[in-house]
Chains A and B, each alone.
Chain A
């Protein structure tokens, strides 16, 4: 299965600022997925990123707040913009398929103060 390197692993940010999270995969993949895990909650899909096209966002998530880049088949970034304390969560990227299951990055633990 693919190996994902995600960074930063954690950060403490001031409200109103932005943070960009990076995920690097050790193989080429068509789709990359970005999730949010709020404290005590399950994972929620933010968006699906395809190389060469705009990311597809889930209900409740918008591009202005969570812009995503997908410059090639092994790399993607998620930016959390204009942060507020409600954005404090673990953010995770993932790759995978129905046949082989899904692999996740090590997560970015974000605290907004």
Chain B
């Protein structure tokens, strides 16, 4: 069974600092990995999708890397802003299902 772990569970950073969020998974036989953002009590917003054949994806201030062999992905958010405050979820797809981590809860302090 795929297990997904996200570290740290929570962090606070001053505005302008870069954010580094980590995701690890136990089964490297994945099809893809997707990072989501979730605001309190709300649904999920997709940020980046990395296919298993890819090493990284970038969108604006966001960059996600994937090291499938070691079972790790990292989400970098450059120059953090208060609007980046949210929970970030990592999800890996194996066969036809997604396995989620519990998330990294981020607070950016103005």
Residues of A at the B interface (CB closer than 8 Å) are: 1, 6, 10, 40-43, 45, 90, 92, 94, 98, 100-107, 109
Which residue of the partner chain, among A40, A98, A106, contacts B42 with CB atoms under 8 Å? A106
Q: Pick the 10 closest A-B CB pairs, nearest first.
A: A107-B43, A101-B49, A104-B44, A42-B100, A106-B43, A43-B100, A42-B102, A104-B43, A109-B41, A98-B31
Known: A10-B41, A101-B34. A42 touches B46 (CB 8 A): no
Taken together as a complex, chains A and B put the C-alpha atoms of A107 and B91 apart, in Å, by: 17
Taken together as a complex, chains A and B put the C-alpha atoms of A102 and B96 apart, in Å, by: 12
Chain B: residues with Cβ within 8 Å of the partner, total of: 22
* Contact, CB under 8 Å: B46 / A1: yes
Taken together as a complex, chains A and B put the C-alpha atoms of A4 and B4 apart, in Å, by: 26
| Most chain A Cβ neighbours within 10 Å, of B36, B41, B91 | B41
**Is residue B63 contacting chain A, with contact meaning CB distance below 8 A?**
no
Known: A98-B32, A98-B93, A102-B46. A42 touches B41 (CB 8 A): no
A/B interface sample: 22 pairs, CB < 8 A: A10-B41, A41-B102, A42-B101, A42-B102, A42-B103, A43-B44, A43-B89, A43-B100, A45-B98, A90-B41, A94-B44, A98-B32, A98-B96, A101-B34, A101-B46, A101-B49, A102-B34, A104-B45, A106-B42, A106-B43, A107-B44, A109-B41
* Contact, CB under 8 Å: B34 / A105: no
**Is residue B61 contacting chain A, with contact meaning CB distance below 8 A?**
no
* Contact, CB under 8 Å: B46 / A103: yes
Identify the closest chain A residue to B95 (Cβ): A98
Collect the chain B residues with CB atoms within 8 Å of residue A10's CB.
Answer: 41
Collect the chain B residues with CB atoms within 8 Å of residue A40's CB.
Answer: 102
User: Whole-angstrom distance from the CB of A45 to the nearest CB of chain B?
Assistant: 6
Taken together as a complex, chains A and B put the C-alpha atoms of A98 and B33 apart, in Å, by: 10
